[in-house]
Amino acid sequence: MESFRSMPKVELHAHLNGSIRNSTILELARDLGQKGVIDFLDVEHVIMKNDRSLVEVFKLFDLVHVITTEHSTITRITKEVIEDFASENVVYLELRTTPKKNDSIGMSKRSYMEAVIQGLRAVASFDVHFVPQTKQVASSFNSQFMENSLNGSAKKKIYVRLLLSIDRRETTIAALETVELALEMRDVGVVGVDLSGNPTVGEWDTFVPALSFARQKGLRVTLHCGEVPNRKEIQQMLDFVPERIGHACCFCEEDWRKLKALNVPVEICLTSNVMTQSVSSIDVHHFADLYRAQHPVALCTDDTGVFSTSLSQEYSLASSTFGIDKADIFDLAYKAISQAFADHKVKDEVRKIFSSAKGQVS
Ligand code: 5GP
Does 78 contact ligand 1 (Cβ within 6 A)?
Answer: no
Which is catalytic among the residues 88, 227, 233, 314? 227
List the residue whose alpha carbon is closest to atom 19 of ligand 1.
302
Distances (CA, A) of 252 to 223, 257, 326: 18, 9, 31
Residue 192 has pLDDT above 90, yes or no: yes
Q: What is the mean pLDDT of the chain?
A: 92
Q: What is this model's ipTM?
A: 0.99
R_g over Cα of the chain: 20
Question: 15 C-alpha to center of ligand 1: Å?
Answer: 6
Residue 118 has pLDDT above 90, yes or no: yes
Count the alpha carbons within 13 Å of 307 in the hemisphere toward its beta carbon: 25
Give backbone dihedrals phi and psi of 230, rounded to 5 degrees, phi first.
Answer: -160, 80
Distance of CA 20 to the CA centre of its chain: 12
Give the tens place of pLDDT for each residue, 304-314: 999 999 999 99
State the pairing for strand pair 190-196/220-225. Answer: parallel
List the residue whose alpha carbon is closest to atom 3 of ligand 1.
17
Cβ contacts of 328 within 8 Å, gap of 6 or more: none
Determine the average pLDDT of the residues in 29-44: 88
Question: 24 C-alpha to center of ligand 1: Å?
Answer: 18
Does 165 contact ligand 1 (Cβ within 6 A)?
Answer: yes
Does 170 contact ligand 1 (Cβ within 6 A)?
Answer: no
DSSP E strands in 130-263: the ranges are 157-167, 190-196, 220-225, 244-247
Other residues' Cβ atoms within 10 Å of the Cβ of residue 244: 24
Question: 193 C-alpha to center of ligand 1: Å?
Answer: 13
Residue 152 has pLDDT above 70, yes or no: no
Other residues' Cβ atoms within 10 Å of the Cβ of residue 281: 9
Question: 196 C-alpha to center of ligand 1: Å?
Answer: 6
The answer to whether 187 and 134 have CB atoms below 8 angstroms apart is no
Residue 102 has pLDDT above 80, yes or no: yes
Distance of CA 99 to the CA centre of its chain: 14
**Of 158 and 154, the one with more pLDDT:** 158
Which pLDDT belongs to residue 153? 56
Residue 227 catalytic? yes
Ligand 1 pocket mutation, candidates 15, 52, 245, criterion most atoms within 8 A of CB: 15
Ligand 1 pocket mutation, candidates 77, 165, 207, 304, criterion most atoms within 8 A of CB: 165
How many Å apart are CA 116 and CA 83, to the nearest integer?
14
Give the tens place of pLDDT for each residue, 305-347: 999 999 999 999 999 999 999 999 999 999 999 999 999 999 9
- Per-residue pLDDT band for 361 (boundaries 50, 70, 90) equals low
Determine the average pLDDT of the residues in 13-41: 92
Determine the average pLDDT of the residues in 190-204: 97
How many Å apart are CA 320 and CA 177, to the nearest integer?
43
Determine the average pLDDT of the residues in 93-105: 95
Q: What angle do CA 72, 75, 130 make, to 5 degrees?
A: 155
Q: Which domains does the chain have, with CATH numbers?
A: 2-20+68-356 (3.20.20.140)
Count the alpha carbons within 13 Å of 223 in the hemisphere toward its beta carbon: 26
**Of 35 and 321, the one with more pLDDT:** 321
The answer to whether 244 and 339 have CB atoms below 8 angstroms apart is yes
Cβ contacts of 73 within 8 Å, gap of 6 or more: 28, 67
Ligand 1 pocket mutation, candidates 101, 196, 275, criterion most atoms within 8 A of CB: 196
Does 18 contact ligand 1 (Cβ within 6 A)?
Answer: yes
State what percent of residues in the chain have pLDDT above 90: 80
Dihedral angle computed from the Cα positions of residues 313, 315, 317 and 320, in that order, rounded to the nearest 10 degrees: -130
How many Å apart are CA 62 and CA 65, to the nearest integer?
5
Question: 123 C-alpha to center of ligand 1: Å?
Answer: 24
State what percent of residues in the chain have pLDDT above 70: 94
Does 17 contact ligand 1 (Cβ within 6 A)?
Answer: yes
DSSP E strands in the chain: the ranges are 9-15, 90-97, 127-129, 157-167, 190-196, 220-225, 244-247, 266-268, 297-299
How many Å apart are CA 250 and CA 224, to the nearest integer?
12
Give the tens place of pLDDT for each residue, 237-261: 999 999 999 999 999 999 999 999 9
How many Å apart are CA 86 and CA 36, to the nearest integer?
35
Among 133, 20, 29, 140, which Cα is nearest to 83's?
Answer: 20
Other residues' Cβ atoms within 10 Å of the Cβ of residue 73: 17
Give the tens place of pLDDT for each residue, 120-147: 999 999 999 998 876 444 444 444 444 4
Which pLDDT belongs to residue 134? 60
pTM: predicted TM-score of the whole model, two decimal places: 0.94
Least confident span in 64-73, 131-140, 350-359: 131-140
Cβ contacts of 76 within 8 Å, gap of 6 or more: 24, 119
How many Å apart are CA 337 and CA 265, to the nearest integer?
12
- Local structure of residue 293 (DSSP, 8 states): T
Which pLDDT belongs to residue 136? 44
